[in-house]
Amino acid sequence: MNSFYKKDKWLIIEEGFHPEINRESESIFSIGNGYMGQRANFEEEYSGDSLLGNYIAGVYYPDKTRVGWWKNGYPEYFDKVLNAPKWIGIDISVNGESVDLAISRITSFTRTLNMKEGYLDRSFRVIVSGNKTLEINSRRFLSMSEPDIGIIRYSVKSVDFEGFVDFNLYIDADVRNEDANYGKKFWKEVQRKVTSGSGIIITRTMKTDFHVSAGICFEAFRNKQELSVKTALINREKYVGNTFGIKIKPEDNITIIKYAAVLSSLNNPEEVLMEDTTKRLKEAKSKGYDKLFSGHRYEWERIWAASDVVIKGDIAAQQAIRFNIFHLNQTYTGKDERLNIGPKGFTAEKYGGGTYWDTEAFALPFFLKTADQKAVRNLLLYRFRHLEKSIQNAGKLGFRDGAALYPMVTMNGEECHNEWEITFEEIHRNGAIAYAIHNYIRHTGDMDYLADYGLEILIGISRFWSQRSTWSESRKKFVILGVTGPNEYENNVNNNWYTNTIAVWTLSFTISSMETIKKENPDKFKRILGKTNFNYDEETNLWQKIIKNMYLPFDDERQVFLQQDGFLDKELMSAEMIPAGERPINQHWSWDRILRSCFIKQADVLHGLYIFEDKYDIETVRRNFDFYEPMTVHESSLSACIHAILASRIGNIKKAYELYLRSTRLDLDDYNHEVADGLHITSMAGTWLAIVEGFAGMKIHDSRILVDPLIPDVWDSYSFHARFRGILFEITVNHQNVIIKNLSDKTLRIIIYNKEYQIDGMEKCEIQRITK
């Protein structure tokens, strides 16, 4: 665990330069605006260890897969979001000697992420020319209000140096992905232009042919007075630069404002990219730094007003939850239905920036309660756009008649994952997408979505479940064979309880959704039946049979659901028995040892008890929690948060808090030594859920919202915002009271500790907290 970063309510601070964790810090201090993201690489040349990362949402390359043993049905490509042309570059040198933090002598260094206003600051002092000192201060942000614009304010102040400082402001499009399977570069240059004061390079991705245009322009000031500088141009393949020297003396402060415009053929026709980029650069420069910054800051104010969590009495927890909310909002802003949320967001290359079930199971519930309805609808539309491909995907595996299997990992709807035990077997992901539709509708009441899009997805998924279920003559039950549940430390098992449960739930939900649309919107219903070629009686009769006769493994003696057939044959033991030096087991044990063991990577049965909480009583949850929690090693970042929620539900606040802590500072303290590979963006949403659905016990029953708040002993109070059916409200919990403020003008009805309250628009209600 590292604790390099100082604790602060709104800031993440790295004091002193730690090159040995530079990759980690580059992930932690990443900035993004939903449209693009940038690791905290330095502006200046850096010859030390670093992962260059600048990503544009939706721009990817299908990298040819490398697997040892090819299996029919494997995808040939793994789509990956690309490290895009580097526009942040500002090299500086003195007497031909570059400032390079890996080599230069630095006497101070601070890097600060301001989460409230969404920018990255860096400040350091460097020795140049033998024994003279320069002070460098930079601020960088990716505009939230104008997402194709990035800005750097870069100042060089002389403490006691007199002479020339040479600058090179450039774009370098000769970039690569570290994880390229065959070491290939993925960009081709299309066009470039460089003039005194600006430069633009248009590149295109091989195969996918996305055109990306990166443009820069700048202005320079000496002590706030604009400077006119004489530039020399660098103009070579995939590289444009403006170089110039400025003479400075002690106390002089030279400030460069570098504006960047990054456009892509996703939003601008490729023929006019050069023209549009030139225009956007001009617009940005004429607006100027201050105006752009205040527009950006305003957007962050808006985001925090709807999603902030305030924790009093625990600064580490306060910092961490804001860090998580901050990165989630940097990754996804919900404006474009073609974009989604990769498990690492824009913070590194791991997982290729693709979409996983993480979106529906973790990120979507966060955005449902903190963002505009449209942002969540767009996540669902994303999957609707991929329905056809999912039907083809199921077709490749031998399913037919409109059965849809959504991919485990995807960019464009096609499956990218290629480990048979996951690609073919981790089919529970289909259920998460169906459940997300239900979750969205119960939060928003948006029945149009169901009729226009959702029902078709549900039909495709239900057809898959009905074809994937097998009638077992010996059990006289339906079974689902050869699967991997959420717990990826078990492969090719039969009757994973969670998968079987979500399969029958999806079938029931699809039938009830059909009934609703049939009644409320007969014309649309007819259209859907026609479009999907749905044989109502035949198909729903089979579904009903499966619903009634699905085999769900259960142990009578312990009265717990069994993760899968044969689970009790294992030697059952607590994860505490694993020697500390052998954790995490996935880095120390052979795969076969892991598979034979009882140890559980992440919530599996417990994930089912979490989402279907209204179906199981507290005693059932407690028994299953007590059985499975000790065997769970939480080696997926998606695990501890779910266990934390259930621990709160059963009133075990101590355990809930312990699990919560593990999840909330996972990246800031680099618990799993993997932050260099990027942040756990989707699990960050789980942390938020651990507060809202865990400690505060927020649930929805029969279209009504209810809470059952607990509070960890070490906190004085916590408060958060949430939305339900268009109403934004704030809940504060302290040791004595629960206070609900209705921040909208509509009446909020809310059940607190089993009693219903009605809170008029802009009013608040305060009740006594009940201790369990």
Phi, psi of 85 (to 5 degrees): -45, 135
Between the alpha carbon of residue 367 and those of residues 21, 378, 540, 744, the distances in Å are 31, 11, 33, 18
Q: Which residues are catalytic?
A: 488
CA distance 96 to 678: 35
Report the SS3 class of residue 172. strand
- What would the two tokens of residue 48 be? 């030390």
Q: Does 265 bind ligand BGC (CB under 6 A)?
A: no
**Contact range with ligand BGC by CB under 6 A, out of 330-338, 354-362, 460-468, 510-518:** 354-362
Number of residues that bind ligand BGC (CB under 6 A): 12
Shortest CA distance to 92 belongs to which of 169, 193, 39, 178? 169
Q: Which amino acid makes up residue 363?
A: A
Least separation in angstroms between CB 453 and ligand BGC: 24
Q: What angle do CA 648, 649, 655 make, to 5 degrees?
A: 30
> For ligand BGC, what does the binding mask look like between residues 663 and 692, x meaning CB under 6 A?
-------------------x----------
Of 360, 488, 629, 667, the one binding ligand BGC (CB under 6 A) is 488
**Per CB under 6 A, which of residues 736..765 are in contact with ligand BGC?**
none
Least separation in angstroms between CB 756 and ligand BGC: 37
CA distance 328 to 32: 10
Q: Does 636 bind ligand BGC (CB under 6 A)?
A: yes
Least separation in angstroms between CB 356 and ligand BGC: 4
**Contact range with ligand BGC by CB under 6 A, out of 234-242, 353-361, 518-526, 555-563:** 353-361
**Contact range with ligand BGC by CB under 6 A, out of 116-124, 223-231, 351-359, 505-513:** 351-359
Nearest residue to ligand BGC by CB is 343
Of 154, 210, 239, 356, the one binding ligand BGC (CB under 6 A) is 356
User: 118 or 343, CB closer to ligand BGC?
Assistant: 343
Residue whose tokens read 């089979």: 542
CA distance 626 to 574: 11
Shortest CA distance to 732 belongs to which of 721, 747, 744, 745? 721
Residue whose tokens read 């000769």: 174
User: 33 or 355, CB closer to ligand BGC?
Assistant: 355
Q: Does 503 bind ligand BGC (CB under 6 A)?
A: no
> 54-56 and 36-38 as β-strands: parallel, antiparallel, unpaired?
antiparallel
Least separation in angstroms between CB 84 and ligand BGC: 23
**Per CB under 6 A, which of residues 595..614 are in contact with ligand BGC?**
601-602
Least separation in angstroms between CB 357 and ligand BGC: 6
User: 428 or 741, CB closer to ligand BGC?
Assistant: 428
Q: Does 343 bind ligand BGC (CB under 6 A)?
A: yes
Those residues whose C-beta lies under 8 Å from the C-beta of residue 327, and which sit 6 or more positions away, are: 30, 32, 345, 347, 679, 681, 684
Phi, psi of 271 (to 5 degrees): -65, -25
Q: Does 358 bind ligand BGC (CB under 6 A)?
A: yes
Least separation in angstroms between CB 550 and ligand BGC: 23
**Contact range with ligand BGC by CB under 6 A, out of 350-358, 647-655, 695-703, 706-714:** 350-358
Polymer length in residues for the chain: 772
CA distance 729 to 261: 37
What's 212's DSSP letter? E
Report the SS3 class of residue 403. coil
User: 146 or 490, CB closer to ligand BGC?
Assistant: 490
CA distance 281 to 288: 10
Of 152, 638, 698, 722, the one binding ligand BGC (CB under 6 A) is 638
CA distance 465 to 589: 34
Least separation in angstroms between CB 358 and ligand BGC: 5
Of 17, 61, 154, 357, the one binding ligand BGC (CB under 6 A) is 357
CA distance 630 to 624: 11
**Contact range with ligand BGC by CB under 6 A, out of 325-333, 355-363, 591-599, 656-664:** 355-363
Report the SS3 class of residue 484. coil
Residues engaged in binding ligand BGC (CB under 6 A) = 343, 351, 356-358, 486, 488, 601-602, 636, 638, 682
